[in-house]
Structure 1
């Protein structure tokens, strides 16, 4: 599945949730998608939580 296809699928899910359940349900779905993306990246080993927390705290890694 290409990045474009994934983006279209996510957009369709958000649009359907907005139409069916309203704005706040769409926001909840978007947050759930973002959390799922983050967990998937950590499990795949493509996201290092230590580096991420250091960056959010303003510490430089280099």
Structure 2
């Protein structure tokens, strides 16, 4: 699935959630989607949690 199609599907899910069950359900679904995307990136090896934690702590890396 292309990034454009994935984004369109995510937008449709969020819009329908907002319309059908309200704003707070929309926020909950959006947070769940973000968490799922982050877990997927970690599982694929495309997101390094150690480097991310170091960046939040203010440590810099030369690599």
Aligned to 2:49: 49
Which sections of structure 1, spanning at least 5 residues, go unmatched?
Answer: none
Which sections of structure 2, spanning at least 5 residues, go unmatched?
Answer: none
Given the two structures, how large is their TM-score scaled by the length of structure 2? 0.95
Mapped to 1, the partners of 2:45 and 2:9 lie a distance apart of 24
State the superposition RMSD in angstroms: 0.6
Given the two structures, how large is their TM-score scaled by the length of structure 1? 0.96
Over 3 Å off, 4+ runs: none
Q: Aligned residue pairs: how many?
A: 62
CA drift of 1:32 comes to: 0.1
